[in-house]
Structure 1
Amino acid sequence: MSFNPYLSFDGNCAEAFGFYEKALGGKIEAMLTHGETPASADTPPEWQDKIIHACLSLNGTVIMGGDVPPQMYQPMTGFSVNVVMPTATEAERVFAALSQDGTVQMPMAETFWAERFGMATDRFGVPWMVNCFRPDPNGENCQ
């Protein structure tokens, strides 16, 4: 079983996924517009180039998303996408990229469980937690 976040955007999914591809070092595997689907004839002209489905691959994990029509869109709340980085340096880099032009809730810092941890909402409204866990001598980190 796997769990993959599916993020909803207010018309800027393509821009957001291009940003995540760079910031996270992933690869966009799919970017399908409404106009490329069998339902394109029933899609308003202004939504033909909006994304119905995007998929970004990140070392065996994926983040998916799409643009949501304005009458259905709601800002993202009540969750965070948690990213676990292998080194403190990488955690710092990813956090700096994700928080650029966004809002930092908790600056990147050392904590009792992590070499580095920070929380931010990016410029697209997606809440993120960036972790670089401390090595656990018993190998019991929940990563």
Structure 2
Amino acid sequence: SEPFDFIIKDLGIEEIQKKIFEDISIIMDTCIYNIKNNEFISYEVDNHLKKVLLSDLLYIETSPQPHKLIIHTKEYSEEFYGKLTTFNNLELGLVKVHRSYVINIHKIVSVDTAYKKIVLENNEVIPLSYKYKKDLKSMIKNLN
């Protein structure tokens, strides 16, 4: 850990207070920025609440096991109990593209509407349902 700032004691009480308030303001702005840009989703596995940064999340799919989902991140995949509709959140960039898939729209590399498939940045191919094709195209256009 490194010092954030050095405050010279000889400045006088008013200058020291001013400098402390400036430093606090900078730290608070940095924290707020980090919170806004590191949004996360949470899910529960074996009574443990887990958080995943949206920047790490690739997609969530339904599991072959009833009532379970599989979350896929850059680092791992994990199965948990949940409903896919819980994670369909446009504000966070999570969009349903198939009855079994919610993807992070920011991880899309390409969309092939003719063959109804989406390629993510990890080169995984996700099916695209005709039902969700139009909405996905308009969302991608709105991102630019």
State the TM-score, normalizing by the size of structure 2. Answer: 0.26
Larger radius of gyration: 2
User: Greater share of helix residues, 1 or 2?
Assistant: 2
